[in-house]
């Protein structure tokens, strides 16, 4: 029973390059959330997706950032023309369609640590 | 939007002592309050959660209390052990009834160190 799988674990990009972060939710989970964690800070919500739909992208920067969760395959968080300020840990979480009564049922992946040089 | 404040930012205790971390939230519509433990280089792991229709919940050495009127909730760890050392985050969310959508607003985190 694999958990939420994120890859790569570490990603180094030069300024101006593109970063692609992948997230495969837990089996049976159809909701995906992306969060960003800056050093020594809490996690900040970025975007919430269901299969083929973006439900809430209120935490996502308007420019250079995009996310998708296609019918087949993992969810992708894409950052174009990266800048040093994009350096952070990016976490994906997934939850099932139905509440269990024990809460949202969030399961986080281990994250992708992006370093922009 | 929701704002969650967490205190203290660092907490150092001796093994066997209790540790208490407190959080306040601003949005009275928030109805779900999870706590996460994050170890170095790993993602946050849910350790306990509480819904707004419950005042207290306990799971072995961990307990969470919620005061809806004052809009604050606390994590209590008893008989602390060195392996409890980690960063702890509180969070708050509004779950619309019947859906699993719960955008979490996190506190700033507490670095807990348990000395043997």
- Structure confidence by residue, pLDDT tens digits, A9-58: 999 999 999 999 999 999 888 889 999 998 878 899 999 998 889 988 98
- pLDDT at res. A16: 97
Mean pLDDT, chain A, whole residue set: 89
**Do the bridges between strand A112-116 and strand A10-13 make them parallel or antiparallel, or are there none, so unpaired?**
parallel
Minimum distance, in Å, between the CA of residue B13 and any CA atom of chain A: 20
How many H helices and E strands in chain A? 0, 11
Q: Which residue from A minimizes the CA distance to B43? A: A110
Q: How confident is the model at residue B93 (pLDDT cuts 50, 70, 90)?
A: confident
Q: Which residues lie across from A33 on neighbouring strands?
A: A48, A93
Are A104 and B106 in contact (CB < 8 Å)?
Answer: no
Q: Which residue from A minimizes the CA distance to B52? A: A103
Q: What is the mean pLDDT of residues A93-109?
A: 68
Q: Does residue B100 carry a pLDDT above 50?
A: no
Cβ–Cβ under 8 Å, residues B108 and A42: yes
Minimum-distance CB partner of B44 among A48, A95, A108: A108
Q: Does residue A100 carry a pLDDT above 50?
A: no
Minimum-distance CB partner of A103 among B51, B105, B108: B51
Collapsing DSSP states into helix, strand and coil, what is residue A28? Answer: coil
Burial tier of A73 (Cβ tally within 10 Å: 0-12, 13-18, 19+): exposed
Q: Which residues lie across from A43 on neighbouring strands?
A: A37
Q: Taking the mean position of all CA atoms in its chain, how far away is CA A32?
A: 8
Contact with chain A for residue B105, Cβ under 8 A: yes
Minimum-distance CB partner of A45 among B103, B108, B109: B103
Q: Which residue from B minimizes the CA distance to A106? A: B46
Are B101 and A110 in contact (CB < 8 Å)?
Answer: no
- pLDDT at res. B54: 79
* Residues in A touching B103 (Cβ below 8 Å): 33, 45, 48, 56, 59
Q: What is the mean pLDDT of residues B33-53?
A: 90
Q: Does residue B14 carry a pLDDT above 70?
A: yes
Minimum-distance CB partner of B43 among A44, A104, A108: A108
Cβ–Cβ under 8 Å, residues A95 and A29: yes
Tell me how far apart the alpha carbons of residues B105 and A3 are, in angstroms, rounded to a whole number. 22
* Residues in A touching B98 (Cβ below 8 Å): 99
Mean pLDDT, chain B, whole residue set: 90
């Amino acid at each position: 029973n694999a958990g939420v799988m994120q890859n790569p674990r570490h990603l180094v990009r030069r300024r101006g390059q593109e970063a692609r972060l992948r997230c495969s939710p837990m089996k049976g989970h159809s909701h995906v959330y992306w969060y960003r964690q800056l050093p020594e800070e809490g996690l900040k919500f970025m975007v919430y997706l269901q299969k083929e739909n973006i439900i809430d992208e209120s935490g996502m920067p308007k420019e250079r950032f995009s996310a998708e969760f296609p019918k087949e395959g993992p969810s992708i968080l894409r950052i174009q023309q990266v800048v040093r300020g994009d350096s952070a840990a990016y976490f994906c979480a997934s939850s099932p369609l139905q509440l269990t009564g024990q809460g949202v049922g969030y399961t986080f992946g281990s994250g992708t640590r992006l370093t922009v040089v | 939007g929701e704002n969650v404040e967490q205190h203290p930012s660092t907490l150092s205790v001796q093994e066997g002592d209790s540790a208490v971390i407190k959080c306040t939230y601003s949005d009275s519509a928030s109805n779900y309050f999870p706590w996460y433990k994050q170890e170095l280089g790993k993602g946050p792991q849910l350790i306990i959660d509480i819904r707004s229709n419950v005042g207290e919940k306990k799971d072995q050495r961990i307990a969470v209390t919620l005061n809806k009127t004052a809009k604050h909730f606390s994590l209590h760890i008893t008989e602390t052990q060195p392996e409890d050392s980690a960063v702890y985050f509180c969070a708050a969310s509004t779950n619309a009834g019947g859906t699993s959508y719960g955008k979490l607003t996190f506190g700033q985190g507490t670095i807990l160190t348990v000395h043997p």
